[in-house]
Structure 1
Amino acid sequence: MTLFLRTVLRAGSGALFAGVCLAAAAAPQHAITLYDEAPKYPANFHHFDYVNPDAPKGGTLRLSGNGGFDSLNAFISKGMQADQLSLLYDTLTYHSPDEPFTEYGLLAEKIEKAPDDSYVRFFLNPKAKFNDGTPVTADDVIFSFDILRSKGAPTYAMYYADVTQVVAEGPLTVRFDFNKPGNRELPLIIGQLPVLPKHWWATRDFSKANLEIPLGSGPYRITNVSPGSSIRFERVKDWWGKDLPVNRGYYNFDTIEVDYYRDTSVTLEAFKAGQFDFNLEYSAKDWATGYDSPALRDGRIIKEALPNQNPVGMQSFAFNLRRAKFQDPRVREAIAQLFDFEWSNKQLFFGAYKRNSSFFENSDMAAHALPDADELKLLEPLRGQIPDQVFTDVFRPPVTTGDGMIRDQKRKAYKLLLEAGYKIENDKMVGPDGQPLTIEFMLYQLNLERVLLPFMRNLAELGIDMQIRRVDASQYVNRMRSRDFDMTTATWGQSNSPGNEQREYWHSSSADSPGSRNYIGLRDPAIDKLVEGLIRADSRKSLITHARALDRVLLWGNYVIPNYYIDTYRIAHWNKFGRPAITPKYDVGMMTWWQTSEKAEGSKPQAVTAAPPKETE
C-alpha cells in the first residue's frame, strides 16, 4: 500500500533456482518488487512506457481544491493541508503506476534488501539535493524517519512499527533493520519515505500546522499562498532529478495553480466557465447532466471515462461501535436493510453504479465466492469467534426491486430489532435500555443529502429517528479524529498489494489512535489475527487468500452499509493539453500531460461513455 506517493491524479534444480533468486535479492538493485519477481523495467531503462520523454515544458495547469486549507505541513494531523504538497518532496523510491507494487530508485540510486526481508539498505544518489542546493544525506533520511514516527500523523508510527533501528553506514548509505523477517511489504514502504531537510527543520516546530513555505527536494516549489483560497507551485528549473529515468516525461507544467471552492456545485460552474482546466468527477448526476454547455458541445471541453484497474476498496455508511447502540450486530444489520440502493441508482444516479459488496472491490481479492480450502485453513481456527455465515454464505447486500417499496427488507429489519430486544412504543423504536433508537449522521458533502433522505424516511417508518448533521470540512476532520459521530460516510481505499495499512484500518491497536482510519472502532482478536496474516503473506496467492478471509469476516460483521462504485475515472478537461498515447494502468497520469495551447479551441466533440470512481454522491 502506498504511503506518500507523487502520483497526482496520476500496490535438486528447484533448490538451485531458489538460491539464485535469493542471491539476486540481496544485491543492490535499481528496483525492488514485493515477491522478488523481475521488475517491468530493466536497470538501463530510459523512461516509463506511459510518458512522452520529449514532452514540451511550459504552461500552466489550473486545478480546484475543496473547502480550504490552513497548513502547508503535509505530515501531521493538525490543520487542513493544502492540496498537491507531495510535489515539493522526493521519496527514496518511486512507485510505478503501471505495476502492482514495484519501487524504482529516486533519491536512492540503488536498493538492497535482505533475502529474508529483515532489513533494507538505500544508497543515495550523490547528485540529490534539496532545492536550496544542500545535498541530501543519510542524516536527512534518519531525521525524516524519526520525526515522522515521533511527531507525524499516527499513520507513520503504525506503518513503521516494525522498524527497530536506522543506521547511517556512510554519508550516502542508510540501513533500516526490522524486528522480525518475513514482512515483504515493509522494505517497499520504507522506500516511500519522504526525505525532509534536517537543516531546515532544526529551527522549526514540526508538530505545528502553519503556512510557512517548506523546503523540499521535489520538482516544484511554492511561490504564492493565499490562505484557504489558492496556492501556486512553480517548476524547479534546475531540479536535480529531472533527467532520472523515473522522472523523464513528468512534471511538464511550469506552473500549477490550485483555487479552492466551498461547494461542489460552484466548483462545476467554475470549471465550465474556464476557471480551471481539469476535473475528476465523483457525482453521477453532475456527470450525466451538469456539463452541458456550449464549450462541451463545440469540443472545447472533453469528457471521457478512463479504465480504473485499481481495487476501489469500500465506500460506505459506517457505524461507530464506540456507541453502545451499535454494538449489537443485529441492530447494524437491521439498519443496513433499509438502504435502498436499487432505487437510488435508478432515480438519483442514472443507473451508473454497481453495488459495493467487498472491502477489496474491483479486484481478485474480493470474497465473491464461498471460502476455498486454503481460506478455510485460516478461518477454521477462528470458528466461534467470527460470524457463522462466513463458512456457509457469500455476503450480498440487500437487493430491492428499485420501485421504492421495500416491505421484505422492513420485515427483516423489524424481526432483527425484536431479537435485539427492541420494541415499538409511541411510534418510536425503543431499546432494552428504554431509550429511543436515534442516529446522528454526520457529513459535509451537500450532495449526499439527497442519498440520505430516502434512507432516513425508511428508518422513520420503523420508528428510528435519523438526523443529518452537516458540518464544514474542518469540523468534519476534527470530529472524525475525536470519533465524535454516530454514523458517517467512510471510504477505505485499497492498493493492488494491501499490507501494513490494514492495521490502521481494522486492528485493535489503532482503535484509540485519533489519526487512524479505524473509524469503526474495531477491537476484535480474530480480525487482528487475519490482519497480521495478510501482512505476512509470502506470495501473491497467499495474499489473495488472506485478503478474502479478512474481507468476508468484515462483511459479515455488518460494520458498514456498503454503498456503490464504478470501475472508471470520469474526467473532464479543456482541450488545450497533449498527453501520451498510453495511460498508466493504475493512475490517470495527469502529471505526464503537457500544454499545447494557451486557450481551448472548438473542435469536433468526442464521444463520451459515462461512469465514475469512488463517489461523494
Structure 2
Amino acid sequence: MVDRSGTREGSRRQIPEPELSGRATVPHRLPRRDFLALAGAAIATPLLPRDVFANVETGTPLHGLSAFGDLKYAPGFSHFDYASPEAPKGGTFNFQPGYWYYNQNVLTFNTLNAFVRTGDAPPRMEICYDSLMVRAYDEPDAIYGLLAESVTLSDDRNGFTFKLRPEARFHDGSPVTAEDVAFSYNLLKEKGHPQLQLPLTEMAEASAEGSDLVHLRFSGRQSRRNILTVAGYPIFSKAFVEENGFDSSRLVPVLGSGPYKVGRFSAGRYVEYERVADYWARELGPAKGFNHFDTIRIDFYRDRNAGFEAFKKGDVYWREEFTARVWATGYDFPAIRDGRVVQTYIPGEKRPQLYGLVLNQRREQFKDVRVREAISLCFDFEWTNRNLFYDAYARSHSFFERSLYMAEGEPSPEEQALLNRFRGEAPEAAFGEAVKQPVSDGSGRDRNNLRRARQLLTEAGWTPRDGVLHNEKGTRFTLEYLVRDELFLRQDASFGENLRAIGIDASTRVVDASQYQSRQNAFDFDMISMAIGLTATPDANGLEQIFHSRTASVEGTYNFAGTADPVVDELIEIAGKAKSRDELTVTLKVLDRVLRARRDWIPNWHLTNHRVAHWDMFGYSENKPDYFFPVESLWWFEQEKAKAIGKA
C-alpha cells in the first residue's frame, strides 16, 4: 500500500515534510488501501499454513489471509487487541490529517468522489466505505473479512470467491449484494483512480453468483499477493452510481456502507463526517472498539500558519507537527503553559518510508545519472538539519528507510547471488557498498562536494556559458522546484544557492494547492518533494506505483521520477512472487541497492516518532498498533476532560 504526504520536512503521507505535508501514502497509505472501516469475525475455519497461496487447501472457506499465512486472530475473535470496546461514543474530533490517498487534497476540495483521478477530494472519504476485507494494524500483512464472511481460493489460486454477510447494508438501508461488489470492481477497473486501476490490470472477471457470492478471477500474471490489495477496495451501490454517475463533477458522495457518512460541508472550507449510529458491522470482531467520535471534522487552511493559529485558539483539536522549527519554538502559548494543550511523542510505525526530492527524468536534463548525483551533492543536510531543523532528523539513504528491507554495507551472499543475474545491466555501484547520500562539512557550501558536482556535470556534457551550464545543443540547464507553500523558500535557500553556484539556473515556484496537484498528477514539473509510506510487507502493486516502467507514463501514479528500467521491473516481479518473507527481504534489499545506484530520488531525512499536540480532552489505548495509526479511529472523546479545559 502506499499513502502519501507531500512534504519537505520530516512527515509521513502517512506519510514527513519540508515544512508541510503535501499529498500518499505510501499508500499507509502504496495502496494496499487502508480503509478505516473495520469488521469481520467469521465462520469457524482453519488457520492458513505458512504459504497461503502456494500451500493452502483450495476450496476451503477462509476467515482471513496474509502474505505468508501468519494470521494472529482465530475465527470468531471478539476484537483486535488494540481496539477499545469499552471507550465511550460521542464528541467531535477536529484534526489536521497527516496522510491522504488518491485525488485527496489537504488544502482544498471540490469533489466528494475520492476514487477518480480528476478533482480534489477531502481526506478521509474512505471511512464512508466498506470493503470485502480489512487490514489488522498489528500484523504486517493480514486481512480479515468485513463485507465478506469468508473467501475461498480456486484450485489454480487465480480465482477468489467471497461469501457476503447477509446483514451488510448501505447507508440508505439497502442490502450490499454480490451485484454491487462485482459492479464496483468493474467500475474501478474502467474509471477508477490509476492507483486503484493498476492492481486490477490482470483481473479478468468480477461476477456475481447469486445475491451473496462474488467471484474475482485473475489471469495468472498478477502478483501472488495481489488479492491483499484488491480485497480492500471500496464497494459502492450500483443503483446509486447508475443514477448519479461516477466522476468528480459534483459534490455528491457515492453511496457507501462504512462507519461514517458525509454530513455538513462547505467546498474548500470544511467537511464533517457523521458516525453511523446503526452501522451494520459495529459488533463484528474487527470493527468492535473503533470509530468513537460522533463527528470527524476537517477544516482546510491554504496557509500553514493559519492552520497552526486555528489549533492554538482551539478551533482545531489535534495536530501532528511536521515542522521542526515550529515544534521547537512555536509551542509556547497560553494553552500549552496552563496544560490545556499537551505535546507528546508517539512511536512511529514499523513500515518503510521514502521521503525526498524527485527529479523528473521525463525532462531531458535529468536523464543522466551523473546529473542526478551532482544535484544531490548540492543538498547540505548537515547544515540544514542544524540551522533549520534543530538537529531533529536523521539522514535517509534508503528507499526502504527504517525497515528490514534497507540495504546496508556489502551485499550478503544471498543478495550477491541475485545481483549477479543483472551483471552488465544494473549500475555498477549497486554491486558494492550500498550507496549513501553525501556527507558535507556542514558549512552550507561544501567546496569539495560542489567541486565533485561540477566535475560530474562536465562529464555529462554540460559546460558553462555566461555563468550558466549549457549542453552541446546550446540548451540552458534550468531546474524549477515546484512547491505549494512559501515555507519551502526558506528551507531550500541553501540548496538553491548551491545549484546556482555550479551553473544550474535553479528557481522555486510556489503554486496554489489545486494547480500543484494537477501538475504533480500530470508529471508537469522538474523537481518536487514527496513522502510515501509503504506497507510493512511491500507488494508488487505498491512498488509498481513508484518504480515500474508500466507506470512511468500513467498520470496519477506515484512514479514521479519516470523510472523505467528493465532491471527494476524484473526485481519488482520477483518480489511479487516471493514465497517466503526471507526471499522477499533479500529481493527488496537488492532493489534498494539498484534504486540507490540509479539516484532517481534524493532521500532527505526521517523521524522515528510522531510529534503530536492535542487539546487534553481525549482518551486512547496505550496499546498502539505497530503498522498503522488512524488516530480518528482509535482515540475517543472524554467529557470530563473536556469540561476541565472549557471544551465541553
| Alignment TM class, shorter chain as reference | over 0.9
- Residues 1:51 and 2:83 aligned together: yes
Among 556, 560, 563, the alignment partner of 1:515 is: 556
Q: Which whole-Å deviations, capped at 9, do the CAs of 1:262-292 have from their partners, x for residues lacking one?
A: 1111111110110011111111111111121
Q: CA deviation at 1:600?
A: 4.0
| Alignment correspondent of 2:108 | 68
| Alignment correspondent of 2:9 | none
- Residues 598 and 444 (structure 1), Cα distance of their counterparts in 2 relative to 1, 3 Å cut: farther
CA distance in 1, matches of 2:119, 2:252: 13
CA distance in 1, matches of 2:514, 2:233: 27
- Give structure 1 stretches of 5+ with no counterpart: 9-15, 604-617
Contact 1:317 1:563 in 2 (8 A): yes
Among 290, 314, 319, the alignment partner of 1:250 is: 290
- SS at structure 2 position matched to 1:246: helix
| Alignment correspondent of 2:472 | 432
| Alignment correspondent of 2:612 | 571
Aligned ranges for residues 535-614 of structure 1 at < 5 Å? 535-590=576-631, 591-597=633-639, 600=642
- Residues 1:140 and 2:180 aligned together: yes
Aligned ranges for residues 74-153 of structure 1 at < 5 Å? 74-114=114-154, 117-153=157-193
Contact 1:119 1:187 in 2 (8 A): no
CA distance in 2, matches of 1:44, 1:212: 37
Q: CA deviation at 1:172?
A: 0.7
Among 205, 223, 247, the alignment partner of 2:263 is: 223
CA distance in 1, matches of 2:56, 2:513: 51
CA distance in 2, matches of 1:538, 1:442: 41
Write the letter of the residue equivalent to 2:476.
P
| Alignment correspondent of 2:236 | 196
| Alignment correspondent of 1:6 | 35
Contact 2:168 2:175 in 1 (8 A): yes
- SS at structure 2 position matched to 1:485: coil
| Alignment correspondent of 2:68 | 35
- SS at structure 2 position matched to 1:112: strand
- Residues 19 and 589 (structure 1), Cα distance of their counterparts in 2 relative to 1, 3 Å cut: closer
- Residues 1:378 and 2:418 aligned together: yes
Contact 1:76 1:151 in 2 (8 A): yes
Aligned ranges for residues 160-559 of structure 1 at < 5 Å? 160-180=200-220, 183-499=223-539, 500-559=541-600
- Residues 302 and 421 (structure 1), Cα distance of their counterparts in 2 relative to 1, 3 Å cut: same
More displaced, 488-497 or 93-102?
Answer: 488-497
Q: CA deviation at 1:257?
A: 1.5
Q: CA deviation at 1:129?
A: 0.8
Number of aligned positions between the proteins: 595
Write the letter of the residue equivalent to 1:588.
F
CA distance in 1, matches of 2:53, 2:249: 49
Identity of aligned residues (%): 37
Q: CA deviation at 1:68?
A: 1.0
Q: Which whole-Å deviations, capped at 9, do the CAs of 1:83-103 have from their partners, x for residues lacking one?
A: 211121011111011110000
Write the letter of the residue equivalent to 2:412.
D
Task: Give the TM-score of the pair, scaled to structure 2.
Answer: 0.88
Q: CA deviation at 1:296?
A: 1.2
CA distance in 1, matches of 2:247, 2:186: 13
- SS at structure 1 position matched to 2:482: strand
- Residues 547 and 17 (structure 1), Cα distance of their counterparts in 2 relative to 1, 3 Å cut: closer
- Residues 17 and 292 (structure 1), Cα distance of their counterparts in 2 relative to 1, 3 Å cut: closer
Write the letter of the residue equivalent to 2:595.
L
CA distance in 1, matches of 2:519, 2:221: 38
Q: CA deviation at 1:353?
A: 0.5
| Alignment correspondent of 2:10 | none
CA distance in 2, matches of 1:251, 1:332: 45
Q: CA deviation at 1:22?
A: 3.2
CA distance in 1, matches of 2:316, 2:420: 55
CA distance in 2, matches of 1:252, 1:443: 36
Contact 1:72 1:81 in 2 (8 A): yes
Contact 1:99 1:585 in 2 (8 A): yes
CA distance in 2, matches of 1:249, 1:233: 18
- Residues 20 and 430 (structure 1), Cα distance of their counterparts in 2 relative to 1, 3 Å cut: closer
- Residues 25 and 450 (structure 1), Cα distance of their counterparts in 2 relative to 1, 3 Å cut: farther
Contact 1:57 1:253 in 2 (8 A): yes
- Residues 311 and 200 (structure 1), Cα distance of their counterparts in 2 relative to 1, 3 Å cut: same
